[in-house]
Amino acid sequence: LTIHSTQNSDIQDDVETEFLKSQYMLDSADGESTSQAAMVILDHETGNVLACVGGLGEKVTFRGLNRATQSLRQTGSSIKPLAVLAPGIDKKIFTASTIYDDEEKTFENDYAPGNNAGYLGEITVRRALESSQNVPFVEMMEEVTPKRAISYLEDMGITSLTQEDENLALALGGLQNGITPLEMAGAYATIANDGIYVEPVFYTSITDKDGKVVLQAEQESHRVFSAQVAYILKELLKQPVEGNHGTATYCSISGIDVAAKTGTTDENYDKWLCGFTPYYTAVTWFGFDENESIYYYNQNPAGVIWSNVMRRVHDGLTNASFRAPSWITTEIICADTGMLAKTGCTNTYEEY
């Protein structure tokens, strides 16, 4: 039999080379294990898995744990675009310029999330995403509702959610089980692919010695939201990369649009970088198999890996931007009110 793999060997080599670097191998508290990582790179139009690595260092175990496909990990804020922004914008509950109050607040069941970067007062959705403010996203989740958010996540290929996940903490990645890097990649690829989810696959077909196809890959594919909604999400997700207060500014690639979102869980147990370009979607997770706090030179190691790999992968590719679909228009917005700018407003910007 011949297995026709979706792997791009050049890209796979780029990932494996990065994962062999000793700089990412942090010793555990007991000295008996090290930190780990996983990365998946997809062609978001076809769902083909071009590269997949499920552990740091040299591979010495036959069919060992592949953290990219098998490890369920807490997502932290990397879930915000999927669970909050996608359904909220699709259902016209809010826009990128809607104002939310970023201040200390206690929600139902005494849920009181905090912010890593302090409180900013009244800010737009765009600004809240840029530095990943938590309170506004929980306020948005109240309006979206966790039930609707779960429906959207499942439509984007997430299979590990439970009834216990139907609460406001879902907005910040507080999950019962977690999500694999592969399924996070498939979900982000939905945005990159103009709102169409395509199930990730590792092979296209298997043929026998005579060339006859004995097994053909079957992929689930369906539209989750419109191309217009996807484009607004793409433009929003450029903010963490291009904004003055962005959490992923180190992920920029010269001449190529980059959309990205970081994720950090409580006690620094998990680090994520989820993002895409017009060419590829990629997700990186970093942490310990048994939860331990991660301290990596005041950097997000998942983001460092993502940036190093994706810059090499895009080296030599033609400059590319996210293309706006039809029926997308822009307006001049007053950043202080989130409304259409009127005479006298000096703090303005263009919004989709």
pLDDT tens digits, 68-92: 999 999 999 999 999 999 999 999 9
What 3-state class would DSSP assign to 337?
coil
Report the pLDDT value the prediction gives residue 215, as an integer from 0 to 100. 97
For the segment 125-131, the average pLDDT, to the nearest whole number, is 97
Distance separating alpha carbons of residues 264 and 262, to the nearest angstrom: 7
C-beta separation of 139 from 125 below 8 A = no
Distance separating alpha carbons of residues 88 and 139, to the nearest angstrom: 11
* pLDDT over 90 percentage in the chain: 90
Distance separating alpha carbons of residues 324 and 303, to the nearest angstrom: 27
pLDDT in tens, 296-308: 999 999 999 999 9
Distance separating alpha carbons of residues 235 and 226, to the nearest angstrom: 14
Report the pLDDT value the prediction gives residue 337, as an integer from 0 to 100. 87
153: pLDDT strictly greater than 90: yes
287: pLDDT strictly greater than 90: yes
117: pLDDT strictly greater than 90: no
For the segment 37-46, the average pLDDT, to the nearest whole number, is 98
> In which band, very low, low, confident or very high, does the pLDDT at 278 lie, cut at 50, 70 and 90?
very high
290: pLDDT strictly greater than 90: yes
> In which band, very low, low, confident or very high, does the pLDDT at 327 lie, cut at 50, 70 and 90?
confident
344: pLDDT strictly greater than 90: no
> In which band, very low, low, confident or very high, does the pLDDT at 116 lie, cut at 50, 70 and 90?
confident
Query: Concatenated DSSP letters for 116-177?
Result: TT---EEEEHHHHHHTT-HHHHHHHHHHH-HHHHHHHHHHTT-----GGG-SGGGGGT--SS
Report the pLDDT value the prediction gives residue 113, as an integer from 0 to 100. 95
Report the pLDDT value the prediction gives residue 249, as an integer from 0 to 100. 98
Closest CA to 225 of 129, 82, 334, 60: 82
C-beta separation of 67 from 47 below 8 A = no
Residue 9's H or E segment, with its range, is: helix 9-19
For the segment 320-341, the average pLDDT, to the nearest whole number, is 91
pTM of the model: 0.96
